[in-house]
Amino acid sequence: MLRWLRALLSRNSASAKRAPVPDNRENAGAPATPSRKKRHPRDTRIQTAERRQVAALPWRRERTGVEILLITSRETRRWVTPKGGRMSGKTDAEAAAQEALEEAGVEGVIADRPLGSFRYLKVLKRRASRWCVVDVYDLEVGVERSDWKERAERERVWVSRDEAARMVDEPDLRRLIAAFEP
């Protein structure tokens, strides 16, 4: 590859009178001089390394108003919504419902479309971290199980919408919860 580039450069310098040949890229027809395209801040490597996840926002209607179910994360014990990776063979909404069953022990009617999304920095086991973008689906809870897969690893609590918004750390998730209207 390096020899090819050197040969090309030496040919171009020897025959500078020739017009450049378009190379069918975005800059086709532009001079053959190397140029750097200015990148948008969102085009940085961290953005392409983002991981996509799905989450459920479990809720129920009580006499006092809408309540939201929060669970603790396994590692940091922060209050979060049930979430996880996208699943092969399931829609994102179905995957969010599956995460709610496994992590919080609840089942119900899941929305087909997300309420919105939020970003958070996931700290991995080896102290590395990765940005995750999470699509959130509201889940009207119909069944709350007394035993579920991750019961020994998590706590769960039903709280008002306002209290839930105060309890979560991620600002975008906080805004989604505060604005939630079933």
The predicted-structure confidence for 68-118, as pLDDT tens digits, reads as follows 999 999 888 999 999 999 999 999 999 999 999 999 999 999 999 999 999
Question: Is residue 157 in some structural domain?
Answer: yes
Query: Has residue 40 been placed in a domain?
Result: no
User: In this predicted model, which residue has the larger pLDDT, 165 or 50?
Assistant: 165
Judge whether 170 lies within some domain.
Answer: yes
**In a domain? residue 116:** yes
Return the higher-pLDDT residue of 149 and 31: 149
Question: Do the domain assignments include residue 88?
Answer: yes
Buried b (16+ CB within 10 A) or exposed e, 79-95: bbbbbbeeeeeeebbeb
- Can you give the residue range of the structural domain that contains 125? 47-179
Comparing 20-29, 46-55, 159-168, 169-178, the range with the smallest average pLDDT is: 20-29
CATH of the domain at 125: 3.90.79.10
pLDDT in tens, 14-37: 444 444 444 444 444 444 444 444
Report d(CA 159, CA 138) in Å as an integer. Answer: 15
**SS in 3 state form for 38-90?**
CCCHHHCHHHHCCEEEEEEEEEEEECCEEEEEEEECCCCCCEECCEEECCCCC
Q: Is residue 1 in some structural domain?
A: no
- The more confident residue out of 50 and 40 is 50
Q: How many domains does the chain have?
A: 1
H/E element, 178: helix 171-179
Distance (Å, whole) CA 118 – CA 173: 6
| pLDDT of amino acid 49 | 65
Q: Is 2 part of any domain?
A: no
Task: Specify whether the backbone of 97 is left (phi greater than 0), alpha (psi in -120 to 50) or beta.
Answer: alpha
Q: Do the domain assignments include residue 57?
A: yes
Give phi and psi for 35, each to the nearest 5: -140, 155
